[in-house]
Amino acid sequence: MVTEDDAVKIAEKYVQSLALESGISLKLFRDALEAHDFGWVFFYGSSDPENPVSGNGPIIVDRSNGSIFTTGTAYPLSTYLDNLRNMGDPNSLPGRTAILKRLTDDSRRIDVVLLIRDLGRLSLADAKRYLENCIDGLQPTIDFDSPETATQFVDQSAGLGLIAIRETGMR
């Protein structure tokens, strides 16, 4: 497990390597640090206020292993953070596919099958087969009509004891 102090050192080392690579004097803005459940978000920029830099999206240091995720500047930071939480990569675009990982509440089987049927636009028999494959550890995937429907499915399935994750789309 990475501590906040460890994360600061990792982020500083990363920003120093960017500065060496680019030949631009960069610094980590330690006072803008954001702590999240998955890790820390760091901001950086030019150490010379007269020479600002562009394209310097925030970086994320993962709490579990210290790995670094870069973000961009094309979207609000919240989009990158949501992508990291939901898809494991801040730069992923949401796809329209969900992976059924595990059923944690066996008493909600019928509700889960109905959700799969309704949002997946499947027959009852097909929806049941998807859940059975999940229970057997096969981690089946369901293609939905849209990324929004896939998100709705993942969100609603969590309340029914089904762990499902979004599969990413193309970048």
Of 23, 57, 87, the residue that ends a domain is 87
d(CA 96, CA 11): 33
CATH label of the domain that carries residue 152: 3.30.1390
Query: What pLDDT does residue 166 have?
Result: 84
DSSP 75: S
83 and 98 housed in the same domain: no
62 and 127 housed in the same domain: no
Q: What is the pLDDT of residues 35-75, one digit of tens each?
A: 999 999 999 999 998 888 988 999 999 999 999 999 999 88
d(CA 74, CA 118): 34
Query: What pLDDT does residue 169 have?
Result: 62
d(CA 156, CA 19): 44
Task: Specify the amino acid at residue 72.
Answer: G
Task: Specify the amino acid at residue 7.
Answer: A
Pick from 69, 47, 43: which is nearest to 58 by CA? 43
CB 8 within 8 A of CB 44: no
59 and 134 housed in the same domain: no
**Number of domains the chain is built from:** 2
d(CA 50, CA 89): 33
Q: Would the pLDDT of 143 be above 70? A: yes
76 and 24 housed in the same domain: yes
Which pair of structure tokens corresponds to residue 130?
């998807």
**Domain limits at 77?**
4-87
13 and 70 housed in the same domain: yes
69 and 99 housed in the same domain: no
Which 3 state secondary structure label does DSSP give 60? Answer: strand
125 and 163 housed in the same domain: yes
Q: Would the pLDDT of 170 be above 70? A: no
d(CA 71, CA 79): 10
